[in-house]
Each structure stands twice: as C-alpha cells, then as structure tokens.
Amino acid sequence: MPKVQPLTPEFLEETVIARGVTYRFRELSIGEYDDLVQKATTKRPNGLGGEDEMIDNAVLLKLMVIKCSVDPKLTPEALAKLPMRVVMKFNSTVNRMHY
C-alpha cells in the first residue's frame, strides 16, 4: 500500500537500498520537471501538414531518475550500467514521488 505523504513546502526525499548501496532521491520542483518534459519532447509530422508534440515517457523517466538522484549522483552512463531490477526500483520510487 502506498505511503500517504503530507503536502508541505519541503521537498520529499527518499532512500533506496539496492544491492548494499544506499541511494537518495529528492522530489523535483515544477520548474525542473517542466524542463525535463521539454527535453523529452519531440515534434513529428502529423499527416495534416502540421506537427504534433510527442513526449517520450521512457526518456522522461530516465531524465527524472538522474535529476532526482542526490547521493550518489547518477549520470546517464552510471544509470545505463546498473542492473535492470535496480533501475526499475529507482523508476518506481521516482514515479511514486511525483505522481
């Protein structure tokens, strides 16, 4: 059952222990989130002569995990080298923190 977090002005922080390593994640500000959404958005032709904006949610989630990481600070290269189940735990944590 998900934990209910009170709505306070402080940023939520959570820790994840994965394979003996403790990782800390911090909730994003809305400005940080908007910036990441923009980075994960591309324009594609829509067949009517215009363009539609498409958000790549897989890219968005990876960007969010990297941006939320506090200690150790994850890089795209470091995240790519981690085992799938560890990354899935990070994804779950970041999703729960924001949605």
Q: Which residues of 43-81 are buried (b: 16+ CB within 10 A; e: fewer)?
A: eeeeeeeeeeeeeeeeebbbbbbbbbbeeeebeeeebee
- pTM of this prediction? 0.86
| pLDDT digit string, tens, across residues 42-89 | 998 888 888 899 999 999 999 999 999 999 999 999 999 999 999 999
Look at residue 7 in the predicted model and tell me its pLDDT: 77
